Amino acid sequence: MEQKWWKEKVAYQIYPKSFMDSNDDGIGDIQGIISKLDYLQQLGIDLIWLNPIYKSGTADNGYDVIDYYEIMEQFGNHEDFDKLVREAKKRGIGIMLDLILNHTSNKHKWFLEALNNPNSKYRDYYIIRKGNNHRPPNNWRSIFGGSIWQEIGSSNEFYLHSFAKEQPDLNWENPEVRQELYKMINWWIARGVKGFRLDAINCIKKSDFSEQGIPDAADGLCNCFKYIREVDGVEEYYKELRQNTFDKYDCLTVTEAVGVEKEKLGNYIGENGNFSMMFNFDITYIDVINEDWFRRTNWTKKEFKQKFIESQLNIKNLGWQAQFIENHDQPRAVNKYIKDETQINYYSKTMLAVMYFFVKGTPFIYQGQEIGMENFKRKSIDEFDDINSISQYKRAIKEGYTSEQALEFINKRSRDNARTPMQWSDEANAGFSKVQPWIKLNENYKNINLRQDQKSDKSIFNFYKQMINLRKTSKYSNTIIYGDFEPIDIQDDEIIAYRRKDENYDLKIICNFSNKEKELNLKYEEVILNNYNEASNILKPYQAIIVL
């Protein structure tokens, strides 16, 4: 397995709006991040992925970009950003940005020009088609609900938006659009950015618009994934993109590409892949069908285990993945994967951590995960900020669910669960800000916060630190990073076990994914990580161990 600098790192994801507020306006900002760099260094991470900091219309919290070259005023300015890059570098930390190449904001100057002037060249920067007597060109549903098409005034001309109507899709068929994007990326690389996360990158090519889908819900529309994700030939764009940008600088790239089939993984990673790594989404949506939050599955541990192991076997000889259990689009992992709320505790949190942290790939930690932050239940739909939560709520109602049921679906899956402010202490506003934050704090912050956690003998933060040290600076580092992955065949769906192995060590990672004691028929000599004080041949509830 080829050695690469980015394989050996641990990354941390920051949602800038909710990380740390430096100037008491209730909104997290770049200076706030700078003030916490020592904390992140102490944790041991090497890379920070920042969710979008560009000037944006905030319809989708930064993912509707008005100007790729400007920084959102609330977050700071270019000086702040340069300082962040410098200060992070001093601590051995690199900065990664989010690249939103599939769409812009409807307030981007290109789009405004396109609308204001039908003869302008910017018209072809977007995807605009004639409708049918004011009806959209087809019946595809956008990812945030409603038709994927929006009529321009009453012109019978429609633009395509894969996400919200405030996020018109760029036309990648137009070479000028592509060149504009490459130029912008290179400009950020020159500013000292070490890598990028590529938003919705497998959506940049669309299939033939004449195709109507079979309606699959009460709104009479059909899910668009089939038509806008992984469309044949999309990899040609990837290749041109990287050749014009990242390749020249040994830049780290990690894709957000959901729904890539096994046969196509090679377009992304490995010898002929176009990116450094891809986020592993194989278990992320195990609880819902087609990302419709009201279509809940009854997933089992058996299915979970199968998916988890298979996911590793699919890539182990192919390429590199970015491993994660939380991000800004997902509920907190412990709430998603531990179905019984009474079992949400230090042990289940650290067990989930061990499970994903030691497979092959670069681990990403989402802010707050390292102190065991949890979902936040809201009592009414008015309390939500996330555009997708509101849309999913409306869709659930349309499907015939009651408002209580709809609220329950949204509470389980809302992206706001991960977007509540970071809980630094039990002081006012959780130490995030001196004023009331832009989004409601999780009410549990008096009990769950960094200061409290660090004082406890069951500190989740300390456990993450231990995991990071083991991976980065122990004698097992090479085995953990580059060693082979092999599942350990244990006939119990509630035990997830695998080995990481090379010529020096044979590490066994064993996780009890249950609150029951489990007998373990496996001999070992030395325990190198354990979320309990002792280890025996009986695994304790949610015990996780790494042994030799």
Calculate the alpha carbon distances from 45 to 8, 13, 86, 124 in Å.
11, 10, 16, 42
The entry of ligand NOJ, Ca ion, none that residue 256 binds, CB within 5 to 8 Å by partner kind: ligand NOJ
Q: How far is the CB of 76 from Ca ion (least distance, A)?
A: 8
The entry of Ca ion, ligand NOJ, none that residue 242 binds, CB within 5 to 8 Å by partner kind: none
Q: Rule CB under 6 A: which of 255-274 touch ligand NOJ?
A: 256
Q: Rule CB under 5 A: which of 138-157 touch Ca ion?
A: none
Contact call for residue 386 and ligand NOJ (CB under 6 A):
no
Contact call for residue 125 and ligand NOJ (CB under 6 A):
no
Catalytic residue among 46, 166, 256, 386: 256
Calculate the alpha carbon distances from 24 to 18, 31, 94, 436 in Å.
13, 11, 27, 9
Give the residue ranges of DSSP H helices in 36-156.
37-43, 78-90, 109-116
Q: Which of 1, 7, 8, 25 binds Ca ion (CB under 5 A)?
A: 25
CB-based contact 354:27 (threshold 8 Å) = no
Q: Which of 10, 29, 36, 510 binds Ca ion (CB under 5 A)?
A: 29
Total residues contacting ligand NOJ by CB under 6 A comes to: 9
Total residues contacting Ca ion by CB under 5 A comes to: 5
199 in active site: yes
CB-based contact 375:332 (threshold 8 Å) = yes
φ, ψ of residue 234 in degrees (nearest 5): -60, -25
Q: How far is the CB of 29 from Ca ion (least distance, A)?
A: 4
Contact call for residue 163 and ligand NOJ (CB under 6 A):
yes
Q: Rule CB under 6 A: which of 505-534 touch ligand NOJ?
A: none
Q: How far is the CB of 428 from ligand NOJ (least distance, A)?
A: 29
Catalytic residue among 199, 230, 329, 370: 199
Angle between helices 460-473 and 346-357 (to 10 degrees): 20
**Residue position matching structure tokens 């989010």:** 98
Contact call for residue 535 and Ca ion (CB under 5 A):
no
Contact call for residue 35 and Ca ion (CB under 5 A):
no
Per DSSP, the three-state class of 488 is coil
Angle at 279 between CA 274 and CA 283, to 5 degrees: 135
Sequence-separated contacts (24+) of 258-267 with Cβ below 8 Å: 258/202, 258/229, 258/284, 258/285, 258/291, 259/202, 259/225, 259/229, 259/230, 260/202, 260/230, 261/230, 262/314, 264/230, 265/314, 265/315, 265/318, 265/319, 266/318, 266/319, 267/234, 267/235, 267/238
Contact call for residue 547 and ligand NOJ (CB under 6 A):
no
User: How long is the chain?
Assistant: 548
The entry of ligand NOJ, Ca ion, none that residue 163 binds, CB within 5 to 8 Å by partner kind: ligand NOJ
Contact call for residue 199 and ligand NOJ (CB under 6 A):
yes
256 in active site: yes
The burial class, CB within 10 Å (0-12 / 13-18 / 19+), for 175 is: exposed
- The pattern of x and - marking residues 221 through 260 that bind ligand NOJ according to CB under 6 A reads -----------------------------------x----
The entry of Ca ion, ligand NOJ, none that residue 25 binds, CB within 5 to 8 Å by partner kind: Ca ion
Q: How far is the CB of 22 from Ca ion (least distance, A)?
A: 6
Contact call for residue 60 and ligand NOJ (CB under 6 A):
yes
Contact call for residue 14 and Ca ion (CB under 5 A):
no
Q: How far is the CB of 108 from Ca ion (least distance, A)?
A: 24
Angle at 277 between CA 530 and CA 86, to 5 degrees: 85
Angle at 316 between CA 486 and CA 468, to 5 degrees: 75
Contact call for residue 100 and ligand NOJ (CB under 6 A):
yes
- H helix or E strand, kind and range, residue 50: strand 47-50
Q: How far is it, in rounded angstroms, from Cα 285 to Cα 291? A: 7
Q: Which residues sit at the interface with ligand NOJ, rule CB under 6 A?
A: 60, 63, 100, 163, 199-200, 256, 328-329
Would you name the residues annotated as active-site residues?
Answer: 199, 256
Q: Which residues bind Ca ion (CB under 5 A)?
A: 21, 23, 25, 27, 29
